[in-house]
Amino acid sequence: MKSIKMNSIKLFATALTVSSFMLVSCDKGKKDITEIKKEVIEIKEDMGNKASNMQEEIKTRTYKMKDGTAIVYNLDAKGVVGFDDWADFTVVNSELAAMRKSKFLTTNQRIKSMNFRMANLGNSIPAWLKTEEVMEDVADVQKEYLELIEDSKASENERKENLEELSEKFDDLREELDETVAEYTKIHEEAIEEFNEEFKKGKIDAAIEEYNEEIKKLDKMLEKK
């Protein structure tokens, strides 16, 4: 009996490594479910409790998705500022941040230099971020930018006001992205908790089933096409 139970645990550990949405760590070797849960909680606490101390410092978070691909994103005290696999968003965010610091006093040439990045936002967004809400905010940003560059006769003050409106739309997008990333983390944590509840009762098959059911929520987040 002990041999059968140990083989079941080892089999689950292998399946979990392949199919789950896990935190990437520099530690080598397999981690048990308790360690993974602890890391997830520590990451969430670090993102929340230390936000006030981050100032302009950029921190990087890395996660591994259930299909094995990695999510790497950067954040500051205000939220997400860039993604390794979404360069268009990262560049636009950086440009708007610089314009914000100069109180939106900039040139038409600099505004138009974002044209390609803006136009490509919806095409280059990673699949895991394509929720309905995020895509709506992307469309709003693109619409606001198009109106900005089409108004070629705008005065400096009008251009400044239009840039402020664009910046506000982009902040809405950033906020939605923050919520999406947080939801992914939450789903992963809840999946681990559901697994632990059944596993402590000795119900290994039930623990695996509960875990997989929770992880399915990740797919439901994505925009239906």
pLDDT band at 24 (very low <50, low <70, confident <90, very high): very low
For helices 204-215 and 156-200, what crossing angle results, to 10°?
170
Cα–Cα dist 88/42, whole Å: 30
Sign of CA dihedral 71, 39, 26, 16: negative
61: Cβ contacts below 8 Å, ≥ 6 apart: 43, 47, 71, 72, 73, 74, 75, 181
pLDDT tens track for 26-84: 333 344 555 544 544 444 444 444 444 434 578 888 776 656 667 788 888 888 889 98
Cα–Cα dist 24/188, whole Å: 13
Which residue ranges make up each domain of the chain? Answer: 2-221
The helix, strand and coil proportions of the chain, stated in percent and rounded to the nearest 5, come to: 70, 10, 25
Q: Is the pLDDT of residue 20 over 50?
A: no
Q: Is the pLDDT of residue 95 over 60?
A: yes
pLDDT tens track for 126-141: 888 889 999 999 999 9
Tokens matching residue 126: 């990673």
Q: 127 near 222, Cβ under 8 Å? A: yes
pTM given for the model: 0.66
pLDDT band at 89 (very low <50, low <70, confident <90, very high): very high
Q: 220 near 214, Cβ under 8 Å? A: no
Q: 115, 46, 36, 40: which is closest to 75 by C-alpha?
A: 46
